[in-house]
Amino acid sequence: MLDDNDTQYLRDITSKLLVGFNDWIVINSNEEKSLILDNAYEFKIEIINNPKNTLQKKYFLDPDSLNIQEKIFLLNKWRVIFTDLVNSNLDRISKDSFKIWFLSLASEIFEELNEAGRLMWKTLILGIDHCKKFSLNDIPRYHNKFSSN
């Protein structure tokens, strides 16, 4: 379990990342947004198809069953993965695709980030018409004001 300082650190870092990401995705074309969304879809499917039962899988299949401690634990795990991704040679689209899930979870956990998370999805879905795989139903339930998901 994370202590209050760790949780505050997660809040601070995700807040800064979310503001920066929202500023950045606004300037991207809808085609670029669709590439990010389709890549995010692939990440989600990879986790769902993993035979192991993990918090990540639970987040994508039944997010309402996660309690706040599990969500914070998962967010911290994703913070470590995100840090590794940032320092890797992966392309920007792959990094941004993971960032979507990371920041969606953060904006669900921390009330002061709720609106920024909704803005992120409102901006990202502008690329939905160009997506080959991602659909409105793939948006996390907490942020999905666009479908019956």
List, for residues 43-95, the tens digit of each pLDDT value.
999 999 999 989 999 999 999 899 999 999 999 999 999 888 888 888 888 89
Mean pLDDT to the nearest integer, 14-21: 95
State the Cα–Cα distance between residues 115 and 143, nearest whole angstrom: 9
Single-letter code of the amino acid located at 17: L
Residue 96's nearest CA partner among 20, 11, 6 is 20
Q: Confidence band (pLDDT; 50, 70, 90) for 140? A: confident
Q: What is the mean pLDDT of the chain?
A: 91
End-to-end Cα spacing for the chain? 31
**pTM of structure:** 0.90
Judged against a pLDDT cut of 90, whether residue 143 lies above it is answered with: no
State the Cα–Cα distance between residues 125 and 123, nearest whole angstrom: 6
